Amino acid sequence: MKKIYIFLGLVLLTTLFFGCLENKIILYHLSYGDSVQQVRSRIYLKTSINDEYVEWESSHPLVISTTGHVTRPNINEAAVEVKLTATYQSKTYTYNFIVPPLTGNEIYDLYPGLNDENHIIEMISYETLIHMLTSKDQALIYIGFESCPWCKEYLPIFHRLAKNTGHEAIYYYNFQSIRTIVDNDLNPLFQAIIDLIDEQYLVKNPNNDQIWWLYAPTFIGLNDGEIKGLFTGAIENHRASEAYLTHQQEEELKQIFRDMLDAVRPDIPCLC
């Protein structure tokens, strides 16, 4: 009889263990810098696994939608706790998140992974970007947009290195609305940017190898009006909507940024 009780106890513990383990299956990926206690940007929700659909429900769809879009409460409003429920293979998985209010710092709210309200990023106009690329300026330029998962992860890394090196500004231009192709021709505004960059730094459009292209994000280092370094796109094999940079990938990216910073400010080596 004692053996039977021990056996039943082991069965119960095994059931509880695997039951808890099942609910720990993660069917989402948080934006860089976020946590379940502080969701400030999009959540990348899995929609299918091995050709089987994952269905989502949200307790507050206006805050976190069933596609993972996050709308934060306004300044001075209370944080909102949201429960997302996923159904996969007839099983349900629940996840709780807290969405804090906006801070009122536009750049920081767009790129919360910076985790630095005293950032050195300044938004610039198209005209200012063109002026920088055609003048004798010394500048660090970031071109991208906030819905790009690589932008959200790479910009904070670039920012930390630049700030720690003593740079006073990173100039940000959002090119999402002009990076378009119509009838096999680039938007003239985007074409004007491409024309100012040497082909050695450009890439071919993935859908048309007759068109030169810049991916998001693009980082440019200028010294005396000359491009000293340019990085566009992503580190090889990094899918930012599914996983963060590995340590090796992050070190590779940091070295690219260090080389750029050293070239822009050779008087202050990047030892960070």
Mean pLDDT for the chain overall: 91
How far apart (Å, rounded) are the C-alpha atoms in residues 226 and 213?
Answer: 19
pLDDT of residue 23: 54
Question: In the chain, what's the furthest Cα-to-Cα distance?
Answer: 89
* DSSP annotation string for 2-42: HHHHHHHHHHHHHHHHHHHHHHT---EEEPTT-BTTB--S-
Q: Does 7 have pLDDT greater than 80? A: no
Task: Spell out a b/e string for 214-246, using b for 16 or more CB atoms within 10 Å of the CB, else e.
Answer: bbbbbbbbbbeeebbbbbbebbeebebeeebbe
Chain length of the chain: 272
Q: Is the pLDDT of residue 13 over 50?
A: no
Residue 93 confidence (pLDDT) above 70: yes
pLDDT digits (tens, 9 = 90+) for 71-91: 999 999 999 999 999 999 999
Dihedral of the alpha carbons of 151, 262, 213, 172, in degrees to the nearest 10: 50
Closest alpha carbon to 155 in 90, 267, 240: 240
pLDDT of residue 96: 98
Task: Please name every residue paired with 181 in a beta bridge, in sequence order, or none if there are none.
Answer: 186
pLDDT class of 266 with cuts at 50, 70, 90: low
Question: Cα(27)–Cα(161) distance, rounded to whole angstroms?
Answer: 32
- pLDDT score at 157: 98
pLDDT at 67 over 50: yes
Beta bridge partners of 144: 174
What is the structure's pLDDT at 204?
A: 96
Residues in Cβ contact with 207 at an 8 Å cutoff, skipping those fewer than 6 apart: none
Residue 268 has pLDDT above 80, yes or no: no
Q: Nearest to residue 151, comparing CAs of 111, 116, 122?
A: 111
Pairing mode of beta strands 121-123, 208-213? unpaired
Report which of 270, 265, 237, 241 is spatially closest to residue 31, judged by C-alpha positions: 241
The pLDDT value given to residue 10:
45
| Spatial distance between the Cα atoms of 190 and 94, rounded to a whole number of angstroms | 44
List, for residues 152-171, the tens digit of each pLDDT value: 999 999 999 999 999 999 99
Tens-place pLDDT, residues 200-247: 999 999 999 999 999 999 999 999 889 999 999 999 999 999 999 999
pLDDT band at 9 (very low <50, low <70, confident <90, very high): very low
Is the pLDDT score of 119 beyond 90?
Answer: yes
